[in-house]
Structure 1
């Protein structure tokens, strides 16, 4: 039963839960069984990627009909609230989008998602996915999600004309050089040299700074307890972060990531730290005057996140949901999804037809770089931990109190790190 869906959306405020059908041929066939796919992909390249998967699903799974349960909002900030309310009220969708990794732990603990280990064997995913990714997806020898694609988070995007007008022609290699360029942009008349959005986008920026100042190994240790948040090294990194935020737009707390990207496209900023899904947004806005580079000081670190889907224990149509997951897991599905969304396949054997030069470079880096998880996108930390970090950064964005930020982050780590 899904009769409570609209009421549950009201529980979390003004967020609208949009439920539409996007299934193509046969959508008026009353004999078809619907599969509700819950996501936050409501526009741009994200929706284009979802639409591509929906088309393949309709083609590959006769008798099944795609039903989109979409709640707009970058990184699923609003969608996760709606989903939590629905699961609490036993109104689960058949499958829902989740970031692979630690973000799924609470759903596993609550017995809200099914073990997919048997499907992994049947579909050959243990051989098709990198061993390191399979290890990150495994919880107590079981796997609960199917990744649709992999994104890189620690990438800086540029407006080449804005930089050229300020005399900046070379990508910075260090944090010091990056801050120097931000200063140069402001002197040249750019009020907000760095385009920045709300909460989770600020966490992305902090993470990139931490990787530069701590290195990949010590950064990853922040989420396992081997690196302390109250260390002097973290204190210095937060000081670097605070300095960088000074060069961002003052309305950052009211902007979602596409709106921040718009500042870059419109020439109101020279840089934006954002995952590589931003390329689809650039294309949707017919903007080609950009370039990109790994965040200064990050070296070969590939900060990854993987959009994935699960099979809920409360699914009304579990077989249809399995067919959706098999479509998502297929080489053809991963290629079609990535072409439109700007990601790269999680599978190492998926075709790369239609990929941009950036995507081909990312595929190579995925195979050779140093994988680093992201708390902002759920691969490094649980959802409650992520919420606490976002709240701490939101408070800092208003107050500018770096000491309070450091204390709040250390307290969140103490509360949420799981002891072995």
Structure 2
């Protein structure tokens, strides 16, 4: 197995992307088989994602190992591009697709993000594969519409993540005299003030997309499910006083974060909590996979001892979800191998190999619950009883273009902190992109 080396892209040559910032040991899975064209007999499936660190890397390794065991004549070429939430991967993928250089399969979030690729004609209809595999019987009714366009299904979901999670340091909370999880954002701001008084970082934050992730949890916590979901529909009241209040709360929360946030990855920000330097971090439950996974992919920390969790303030009973899914590209270089990979993604064995390490629950409803850890057992129960809402940052509720507009508005706000301008820009974007 070898790591992909960059080559020039163009209509007659495939763009091959290197995995950056990783040790060779952590990506031993990267590419096996007939990589050099020497005709040794293996077909390679070329898969594009942004899973390059933490529990996501460990989960991918586990699923690839199961895939190669069941498909000994197919090698796995990993074309992952580092960058949380696909911030670097998505622009590169779009460029490759537009240039007519598709991989065999790529990772995309179920929802509006995926449907952008469907509308652009980049991916194949997988309805017949669903019929063959019986997947409509085991994937949630909540999820299927988010991967369906015009009655046809276009991707295979491998997991379900929860975005609205609050991670905490039991040690620092005890030192600050804080007991229990904050029920509202007002209460949480009070908790943050107590931590600040102890000379610790109240709320850890990383690069800009993690601030966007924080923003979506504030909007959900302050507006509630109905108010939050109304924002993503035509006529959503982005200019109203309730949104103004939520943006004010977001600004107050930013005032409790670390000054070096722009230079940190989500892993760096999360690590501050288990290192006893920060009390809280708001991030999806891939954080739990990172905390719990053994090195080199994770930190080997103990749940309820080194870290604890709760729903983000104001969101208890709401499951703000996202789902990673894989597609079949039109003009896939190795179509049969790609279909074999999709069968792995949708299989019970594949999902039960992947998700316990990734820090997510399976998309399938028939998973072996005994394979999942303390947190994921809790998450499985929450998924069954909570009200479901979609994530902004992770592609469920807004198109790629709308997300890009929000990213631009947020980038300006993080520099000037002008709430009115921020809100006006968000309202303009909604008027342009809301369906």
TM-score (norm 2): 0.90
Counterpart in the other structure of 1:285:
299
Moved more, 371-380 or 202-211: 202-211
2: CA distance, partners of 1:77 / 1:384: 13
After superposition, residues 172-251 of structure 1 pair within 5 angstroms as 172-190=182-200, 192-251=201-260
After superposition, residues 42-191 of structure 1 pair within 5 angstroms as 42-190=52-200
2: CA distance, partners of 1:128 / 1:169: 40
Counterpart in the other structure of 2:29:
22
Counterpart in the other structure of 2:23:
none
Q: Secondary structure at the match of 2:65?
A: helix
| Residues 33 and 76 in structure 2, CA contact (< 8 A), matched pair in contact too | no
Moved more, 178-187 or 80-89: 80-89
Shift of 1:8: 4.6
| Residues 178 and 296 in structure 1, CA contact (< 8 A), matched pair in contact too | yes
Q: Secondary structure at the match of 1:308?
A: strand
Q: 1:41 aligns with which of 36, 43, 51?
A: 51
Q: 1:339 aligns with which of 336, 347, 356?
A: 356
1: CA distance, partners of 2:34 / 2:379: 37
Shift of 1:56: 1.3
From the superposition, tell whether residues 105 and 61 of structure 1 become closer, same or farther in structure 2 (CA, over 3 Å). same
* Unmatched tracts of structure 2, length 5 or more: 11-15, 21-26, 293-297
How many residue pairs get aligned? The number is: 410
RMSD over aligned Cα, in angstroms? 2.1
TM-score (norm 1): 0.93
Counterpart in the other structure of 2:429:
412
| Residues 166 and 312 in structure 2, CA contact (< 8 A), matched pair in contact too | yes
Q: Secondary structure at the match of 1:215?
A: helix
| Residues 54 and 267 in structure 2, CA contact (< 8 A), matched pair in contact too | no
1: CA distance, partners of 2:30 / 2:220: 42
| Residues 24 and 55 in structure 1, CA contact (< 8 A), matched pair in contact too | no
Counterpart in the other structure of 1:252:
261
2: CA distance, partners of 1:290 / 1:73: 24
Shift of 1:223: 0.9
| Residues 5 and 17 in structure 2, CA contact (< 8 A), matched pair in contact too | no
2: CA distance, partners of 1:315 / 1:90: 10
| Residues 5 and 91 in structure 1, CA contact (< 8 A), matched pair in contact too | no
Shift of 1:407: 1.3
| Residues 218 and 226 in structure 1, CA contact (< 8 A), matched pair in contact too | no
Shift of 1:109: 1.7
* Unmatched tracts of structure 1, length 5 or more: 10-14
Q: Secondary structure at the match of 2:46?
A: strand
Q: 1:32 aligns with which of 42, 45, 49?
A: 42
2: CA distance, partners of 1:25 / 1:392: 42
1:297 aligned onto 2:317: no
1: CA distance, partners of 2:149 / 2:330: 17
Q: 1:265 aligns with which of 268, 274, 277?
A: 274
From the superposition, tell whether residues 16 and 327 of structure 1 become closer, same or farther in structure 2 (CA, over 3 Å). closer
Structure 1 residue ranges (4+ consecutive) displaced by more than 4 angstroms after TM superposition: 23-29
Shift of 1:75: 0.8
| Residues 128 and 347 in structure 1, CA contact (< 8 A), matched pair in contact too | yes
From the superposition, tell whether residues 4 and 56 of structure 1 become closer, same or farther in structure 2 (CA, over 3 Å). closer
1:7 aligned onto 2:8: yes
